[in-house]
Structure 1
Amino acid sequence: MNGVSVIICCYNSSDKLPETLYHISQQQLTAELPVEVILVDNGSTDTTCAVASAYWEQVKAPYPLRIISETIPGKNYAIETGISAAAYDLILFCDDDNLLSADYIQRGYTYFLQHPALGLLGGFGIPRLTIAPPPWFERYAYQYALGPQHTRARRDITLERGYVYGAGSILKKEAYLTLKKKGFQYTLTGRRNGIIIPGEDNELGYAVSLIGYQIHSNPELTFIHVLSESRLTWAYIKRLKKSVAYSAALLIPYKERRNERLLNKKSTFSWTKKMLSECFYFLNGYVRYPFAATDFKTDIVLDRQARLGSIQSLFANRKLFINKHSWLPWLQSN
């Protein structure tokens, strides 16, 4: 049906939700635009559901809130459960620490009407930090779903980038249902070999573009991303760089298929060459900067973490990379 379903995937979010829900409840909408809010509880052990229900009743929002449960840990599972429950044809993913601007839903909906080939739309994240920013923050702000998602005036980033960050993104449900009919399954399932794997938003963007939909970024869609102190530590950004690199390696099949289908480039991927390259640059960093400490030469330390994550992913998933015929089986017959 015509309208927007706002999905909030939560895990122990009781302290964050009131402000997030407040900004959703204050959206400036035209009378003909129906909206619903779906909170997907992904195994919370706190009072997330009770807080959400009580607060929504308190603010007397003009559209309904439904609370559903997904017991399998992993954001992608919560996302799929939310989409399955959604009544409307546009899905807005709002994280529990995202504060949407007052015109976010209406502006996003209008943008889709103006671009019928669009499958996925991204916004512009603005940081709100609970502590003073660390010295490396501005350089690596993009890792936190912040700032612009395109480098040119053109908002169509289907070929340039091929994905948008999940926070604040809006998905055409038709595109997702088409993917599922083709047999699409997430490669990034939250955890792999004991490592937390982010990047389900990247994977969804690549998949949507591979079946012919456009990916756009609109800087007029703004939201505040509230970042807690725990996410602004040196230890956190190192873990983040490593896990992002691990998941990026798992998305190589998508990049190769995009090169073939959208850019007419023949796949030249070699697991051996990729592994040797990552090992070379990882070891080269130690040879050139053997005494780089955690608070010295930030780029070098974080590059090491990224190389290590990529090497671990390539090694742990070697069969996936070597057997190209097994790549993205849902695409083979389409």
Structure 2
Amino acid sequence: FARLKGFLESSGAIIVMVDDDNILAADYLEQVLAIFSKNSGLGAIGGRSLPLFEQRPPDWIGRYYSSLALRDLGDEVIISTWENTYPTAAPIGAGMGIRKAALERYIAKIQKGLSTITDRNGDSLSSGGDNDIVLEILKAGWQTGYFPQLSLQHIIPAGRTTPEYLSRLVRDSNESWVKLLESHQINPWKKISKHSVPLRKAKAWVRYTAWKSDVHYIEWKGACGYFKGLSEL
């Protein structure tokens, strides 16, 4: 509830979410204000989140940029509206600029105890809180936008580039992703029986040839996350 407390206590009309491992470009805040002032329909915005690795990562790390909150969608502005799906260009939590007025629906849901979405807790790497905010903003009739002039560096410690960490991250993220989509009634997959999960995992182990490489293993763990999420709906 720390995020909710921050939202409620903030006195400005614009909020920017920044983690301690984010380094904003010098003009980031200025650009955020300019974008919102020129686009009254925007509720949330984001831009580029570029990696600053503490040590050279594996060559395949790019496959998991989205899981690490890294992205660069190019040089064109992308505006999204609510279309009963999660926009591919929706803002990510790192550096997300939010119009406070656009948070009313989200804040009301949290205060009423209607949200089942949680962020990382204990050893779990599950996520979904930032995505939940984006969806509530869109469903309230606001737009979201990707603006390439917004740029930050995201510090990635060496420990977050290991197969062990990434396999947990992808597994837990996929599990929470299913539950997030279900909570907003936009989940495209059918619920599965908990009893079927062990067999599904075994079959997926073979299908993904999980023993062949780190990437194959991480992909298998991601599938396991989907299975767990779908079995708990």
| TM-score normalised over the length of structure 2 | 0.84
Amino acid paired to 2:56: A
Amino acid paired to 1:199: G
Structure 1 residue 181: deviation in Å? 3.6
Check the 8 A contact 2:42/2:144 in 1, yes or no: yes
Check the 8 A contact 1:97/1:225 in 2, yes or no: yes
Q: Distance in 2 between matches of 1:109 and 1:127?
A: 24
Structure with greater contact order relative to length (CA < 8 Å, sep ≥ 6): 2
Structure 1 residue 284: deviation in Å? 3.6
Check the 8 A contact 1:149/1:164 in 2, yes or no: no
CA spacing shift, 1:125–1:291, aligned 2, 3 Å = closer
CA spacing shift, 1:128–1:268, aligned 2, 3 Å = closer
CA spacing shift, 1:117–1:279, aligned 2, 3 Å = farther
Q: Distance in 2 between matches of 1:189 and 1:155?
A: 28
Written as runs of structure 1 = structure 2, the 5 A alignment for 1:29-68 is none
CA deviations on 1:162-200 (whole Å, 9 max, x unpaired) are 732100001111111243346474322236897442121
Amino acid paired to 1:306: G
User: 1:173: which partner in 2?
Assistant: 100
Check the 8 A contact 1:279/1:307 in 2, yes or no: no
2:160 paired with 1:231: yes
Return 5+ residue gaps in structure 1 as ranges.
1-76, 258-266, 319-334
Structure 1 residue 290: deviation in Å? 5.0
Q: Distance in 1 between matches of 2:151 and 2:191?
A: 40
Work out which of the two has the higher radius of gyration on C-alpha atoms and give 1 or 2.
Answer: 1
Amino acid paired to 1:287: V
Written as runs of structure 1 = structure 2, the 5 A alignment for 1:1-334 is 77-149=1-73, 153-158=76-81, 159=83, 160-161=87-88, 163-181=90-108, 183=112, 185-190=114-119, 195-254=124-183, 256-257=185-186, 270-272=190-192, 282-288=201-207, 290=209, 292-293=211-212, 296=213, 298=215, 300-315=216-231, 317-318=232-233
Identical-pair percentage: 24
Aligned with 1:308: secondary structure? helix
Check the 8 A contact 2:125/2:169 in 1, yes or no: no
Check the 8 A contact 1:162/1:209 in 2, yes or no: no
Q: Distance in 2 between matches of 1:226 and 1:194?
A: 21
Q: Distance in 2 between matches of 1:305 and 1:204?
A: 27
Aligned with 1:219: secondary structure? strand
CA spacing shift, 1:213–1:280, aligned 2, 3 Å = farther
Structure 1 residue 289: deviation in Å? 5.3
Structure 1 residue 107: deviation in Å? 0.5
How many positions carry a matched residue from both structures? 227
CA deviations on 1:260-300 (whole Å, 9 max, x unpaired) are xxxxxxx8764249x97x8886444333455624xx161x3
Aligned with 2:185: secondary structure? helix
Structure 1 residue 98: deviation in Å? 0.5
| TM-score normalised over the length of structure 1 | 0.60
Structure 1 residue 205: deviation in Å? 0.6
Aligned with 1:292: secondary structure? coil
Q: Distance in 2 between matches of 1:91 and 1:221?
A: 14
CA spacing shift, 1:184–1:121, aligned 2, 3 Å = farther
CA spacing shift, 1:163–1:185, aligned 2, 3 Å = farther
279-288 vs 219-228, which moves further: 279-288
C-alpha RMSD over aligned residues: 3.0
Return 5+ residue gaps in structure 2 as ranges.
none
Structure 1 residue 90: deviation in Å? 0.6
Q: Distance in 2 between matches of 1:231 and 1:256?
A: 32
